[in-house]
Structure formats: structure tokens, C-alpha cells
Amino acid sequence: MDTDPFDIVEVSFKNGAHKGFYRNQDHTRSITGDDVVVETGTGLDVGRITLSGELVRLQMKKKKTSEKDVLHKIIRKANERDLERLAEARSLEMTTMVRARAIARNLKLEMKIGDVEYQGDKRKATFYYTADGRVDFRELIRHYAKEFRVKIEMRQIGARQESARIGGLGSCGRELCCSTWLTDFKSVTTAAARYQNLAINQSKLSGMCGRLKCCLNYELDTYLDALQQFPKNADKLQTEAGTAILVKTDIFKGLMYYAYQKDSGRGKLYTLEASRVKDIKAMNRKGEKPADLVSLQVIFEADSEEEVDMGFEDVTGVIELPEEKRSKKRRKNKKKPGNRGKGGNSTSRGSNNSQAQNKGSQDKGSNSSGKKGDDKGSQDNKKGDGKSRSRNRRRKGGRGRGNNNNNGNKGDGDKS
């Protein structure tokens, strides 16, 4: 039991979704971590004590809550029946949220139901929604009361509060800060990213809620303290070799990187300490210019580290592996369809006639006609090759011999 006599405790509901302050009476004998039944304005609810003693006093001071404002009390410790009813209420929340979204869509209201929370005794349901502007939900409450048969409460929350209630994993791989330990949301601007030399990339700087990440403010004070050692308005330095422009800054090492303007910032970088840049700026105010930045830059010496025996010998450049022999795949030359019929129409006619003659001679079975047809067909094939004969002679050969054969073997072709 807590030894501190402070009788106000902090009670958390639905895994920290919302918290409240309640008076802990002596007869309850409840301590931090106990599930308790508390009284509310609309009935009873079940929560867990998260803070007690002097820590509650500090939390109340942080949230600007006085002891006179704490009116409700803890009734008793929660028993098994209370926890069963609480589990039944939690099981109804998902189906209620889906149905609530459908009703809001049918009424064409520009709002999104983000979460639903039932009271421990299932007499009241709180609907958390997000909207860009103000929404008239008087008709919506009538539909909800008729559909769910409970007392309805509507609460508008922001995008950050919605992600805190839903939870999730951030880009760092850990649970969201707002859903675990972060209680208050401070404003975050892009200036915090500029002070930390971060690229202004909206997709990388935004969190799960679509707003700028809260963690941008965590190290901002450290960066601001480190930036006080750097000179102001040191974007350009005047030297006899030309004007040098600032490319980047290493805040914690106290180094500034410059390049000459004639190289458009893409030439050699000269590393200068912050104190050396202050001296050059003082010379420029007096109208003086250093010769160049080569003699003023910081030269980093290579660290002479002793070689560590790794237990094996480095054979780089000593052993050469043979080249891998790869089999060359032969490409098959595909014949183009247009290269076949260069001999003209007479060749196709002659070949067709010879095929018809051969079929007719086989079906009839006569030796004389078959031999003649074969001889004439072979002659037509030779003529239809189109190697060295003219087009007129091939036409004559196709018309004279081929057509006669076709006329004599018409019936054979039909039969075949």
C-alpha cells in the first residue's frame, strides 16, 4: 500500500486511451496496478490505477487540475464479474464502429469515426471522430441512439489523437510515442528540421498521423545550443582566389565545408573550423581578404592503428582465379515470310500445278498419265525456282504445260 497520505489517484481506461483523477477511499485498499470500479456521471466504469502519491500531485499541476475539481470516487476493487462485463463491452466496439461509419456515410456527413469506447456497464458509448470543420450531428445522434440503445457522446479529436488511440509502429520500428508515453502534443514546424540539417521531405518527416513527427522536437534544444558556436551570416567568404560559398555544416564537430563559387559548389571542398571562419569574416569586414582557403583548411591525419592479426593471410592480388568460360548461344536465323516467293506468280502456279498432277496421277493409277504428270511437274518445279530465267519464259512454261496438265486432271483433283 502507498505510504503517501495523498488520497487522489490517476485511473486509466482502455489501455491509456483516456485518464482521470479519482479519490481513493481507505476502505477500498486499492493500490497502483489494481483494477477498480469508479463512479461517473452516467453510471459505473472499470479502470486501472496508474499513479498514486506525490506523482499524482505533479500530474495534476501539469494538467492544471485542482483538488476541488476531483468529485468522483473509487467504489471498490473490480471482481471477475466486472471484468467479464468490461470484456463484453470491448467486444461490441468494433461492430459498433463499422455500423456507425455506415450511418454517417448514408447521412453524407464529412466526418470519420475513428474509435468507439463503451462504458464498463454498457450504458454509454463515446464516439471519437475527426473532421476538417464543424459538423452538425444532431440527426446522427438520433440514429445512433435508435440503433445502439445507449447514451451517445460525440467527441471531436485531431489526427494525432486518432493515431494515439489506434496505435501502430513508427519508422524507427518502435511503438508510437503518442500511444505509449507521450501525453501532450507540442507544435512541430519545419524550422526544427532545418536546424538539424534535415532534408525537407514531407513523406519522411511525416508520421502515421500525416503530421510532422513529434520526435523532431526531442533533440532540437541540443542542436540550438551547438549552433550558438557558429558564426552568423557565414554563407559567403571573400578570398583573393574568389568567393567561397557554404556547402554544408557539421554541427557537433564544429566544421564548415566551403567550395568556390566559380566551380558552382561542385569543386573541391575546403573544411574550416568555426573559429577560423569567424576570423575570415572579421577580415572581410575590414576589407581584407585571405589568399585562399587551402592554407586555412583543416587537414585530417590518418589514424595510425596497429595491425590486428586476424588469424589468416590476405591473398588479395596474389591468387588470381581463372576466367569463367561461358558458352555462346547460337542465334537461330528465322526466315522471313517475304523471301520465299521472289520468283513471281509463275512459280507458285507451277508448284501448285505439279502438286495437283502428282495427286491426280496417284489416285488414277495409270502409268502413262502419271509419268507425264511427274515429268511435267518436275520441269515446272525447275522453271519455278527463279534462279536465272526471265519472267516471260516462266509465265509461258506455267501457262502452257501447267494449264494443260490441270485441264487433263481436273477430275482427279476433285476426287482427291
pLDDT, one tens digit per residue, over 303-354 is 445 555 666 666 666 667 777 777 766 666 655 555 554 444 444 444 444 4
Q: How confident is the model at residue 300 (pLDDT cuts 50, 70, 90)?
A: low
Where in the chain is CATH 3.30.300.20?
84-157
Say if CB 404 and CB 360 are below 8 A apart: no
pLDDT, one tens digit per residue, over 176-206 is 998 888 877 888 989 999 888 888 888 889 9
pLDDT, one tens digit per residue, over 117-145 is 999 888 999 999 999 888 888 899 999 99
Please state which CATH class domain 84-157 belongs to.
alpha beta
254: left (phi over 0), alpha (psi -120 to 50) or beta: left
For 93, the grid coordinates are: 466496439
In the predicted model, is pLDDT for residue 384 greater than 80?
A: no
How crowded is the C-beta side of 402, counted as CA atoms within 13 Å? 27
Nearest-angstrom CA–CA distance, 124 and 98: 17
Say if CB 15 and CB 2 are below 8 A apart: no
Which residues have CB under 8 Å from 144's CB, separation 6+? 100, 103, 125, 127, 152
Nearest-angstrom CA–CA distance, 237 and 246: 8
For 237, the grid coordinates are: 567568404
- 159-163, 224-228, 345-349: least confident range: 345-349
* Its pTM surpasses 0.85: no
Place of cell 518502435: 174
Q: Which helix (H) or strand (E) holds 415?
A: helix 410-415
pLDDT, one tens digit per residue, over 39-78 is 988 889 999 999 888 888 888 888 888 888 888 999 999 9
Share of the chain above pLDDT 90, in %: 22
Cβ atoms within 10 Å, residue 134: 7
The residue that leads in pLDDT, 264 or 359, is 264
Place of cell 558458352: 327
Place of cell 500511444: 179
* List of E strands, 14-159: 18-23, 35-40, 43-51, 74-77, 112-118, 124-130, 151-156
Residues in the chain: 416
Pairing mode of beta strands 35-40, 74-77:
antiparallel
In the predicted model, is pLDDT for residue 103 greater than 70?
A: yes
Q: Which of 412, 353, 339, 338 has its CA nearest to residue 383?
A: 353
Mean pLDDT of 273-294: 87
